[in-house]
Structure 1
């Protein structure tokens, strides 16, 4: 069976507070994008086997796909194993939910292969035991996301926009970014205004509300993030922001020629450069 695992960007990310359990309460507007990993998965007699087109990710128990497969096999007493091969296109330590997307895709694929007939809601509940972004990746819909990522309120309106992704060579550890965060002096973007702008198909409103509390600490770890943002704005992109905890930066435009111009400008300057767009219902037909 073949399945796509879509990446995401955070159009707005607010770290609201630190909780007693050490986690942070977040409010975010997350949008899936058309960039995806391609996963082939099949039933085998026993065990979990993972292979990849890259040696940059572990293929053992540390891999998020291994963790969700093992969890599903144990919880539903599946008397078989799975063989997984992944063509990895989403970079790691980028803030694009590459790992979570893969985990969500494996859960959905195994649900079909083993005819478990689990709802998306149940799959999301299982997924959040392994990764906070997995519930969002199960649904692949633009959403207001709260808590540590488990509370989802979907935004039903499609939002059309071209997205240029540029990631410097160095990534950012999510744990390190949160650890360096100064919440008292941090930026808190207007999350509900962003939600309203998308619902009203107000592109300029979306651009105006772009913001990410984690950008400042991540900039200290990878200064190239700021340089990429500045270069995108100089080229004419309407807005530029770091996604998640970084280090990938995305630029927004409704001009396809500018998207191509930006792609050519950044292509040999940084480690990862991709043209993509916000994933909507009509995108899934591609």
Structure 2
């Protein structure tokens, strides 16, 4: 089986509290974009065998693809094995749920491959054990995600919006970002309801005016270059620019493909991982 695992951006990321176990309680609007990893799956006699087009990506227990396959097979007592080839396109450690979307694709595909009768809710409960973004990636599209990311409410689709994505030449650890976040210093929260309304009505300027990511407080302070990327994108005609997830990817919405192309061309001379894409 051949499948596509789509990346995501956060159109908002709010932190509404903290659990006793240290996990932050979130309120986020997540949105799939047309940038994806390709994966192929094949049954084999035994074992989980992973190969990848990028040599720096681990293919053992450190990879979320491996973790997801192992968890699935142990949970449902599957004795056969699987070969998985991962063609990685989504930037790594970028705030775009690259690893989580691959893990979600593993759950959904193994369910088909081994002809299991499992619903999405069951897969989402399994997904939380791998990572907080996995339940969203199982559902995909446009969604409000709450709790630790495990309570998903699908929203009206916000598709075909033009985006430019810039991932600088470094990664960011989500764990580190949350560790350095001081909730007591957060005074301005995103207006999630206003954002949902603007998205439903497809009023792009209102969406851009209301987007907010509280993790920018940490990541942009540590990496001032990200602030410059945002400012440059706005100067080049973007209607709004923001960091996705814990970063460092910066995305910008455009109402015009020509402006988006100019922005893409400029950043492509400075960075390797620059993309023009759309929301899906």
Which residue number corresponds to residue 4 of structure 1?
4
Which residue number corresponds to residue 96 of structure 1?
96
* SS of corresponding position for 2:206: helix
Q: Post-superposition shift, 1:2? A: 0.3
Work out whether residues 14 and 213 of structure 2, in 8 Å CA contact, stay in contact via their aligned partners in 1: yes
Superimposed CA distance per residue, residues 109-156 of structure 1 (whole angstroms, 9 cap, x where no aligned partner): 101110002112221111111111111111112011101100011112
Q: Distance in 2 between matches of 1:242 and 1:158?
A: 18
Q: Distance in 1 between matches of 2:52 and 2:116?
A: 26
Which residue number corresponds to residue 183 of structure 1?
183
TM-score by length of 2: 0.97
Which residue number corresponds to residue 193 of structure 1?
194
Q: Does 2:134 align with 1:144?
A: no
RMSD: 1.1
* SS of corresponding position for 2:10: strand
Unaligned segments of structure 1, at least 5 residues: 280-286
Superimposed CA distance per residue, residues 246-275 of structure 1 (whole angstroms, 9 cap, x where no aligned partner): 000001012111111111010021231011
Q: Distance in 2 between matches of 1:143 and 1:109?
A: 22
Which residue number corresponds to residue 216 of structure 1?
217
Unaligned segments of structure 2, at least 5 residues: none
Which residue number corresponds to residue 255 of structure 1?
256
Superimposed CA distance per residue, residues 145-188 of structure 1 (whole angstroms, 9 cap, x where no aligned partner): 10110001111244431011001111111111111112222242
Structure 1 residue runs of 4 or more that deviate by more than 6 Å after TM superposition: none
**How many residues matched?**
279
Which residue number corresponds to residue 264 of structure 1?
265
Counterparts in 2 of 1:17-32, with a 5 A limit? 17-32=17-32
Which residue number corresponds to residue 46 of structure 2?
46
* SS of corresponding position for 1:58: coil
Q: Post-superposition shift, 1:15? A: 1.2
Which residue number corresponds to residue 240 of structure 1?
241
Q: Post-superposition shift, 1:41? A: 0.8
TM-score by length of 1: 0.95
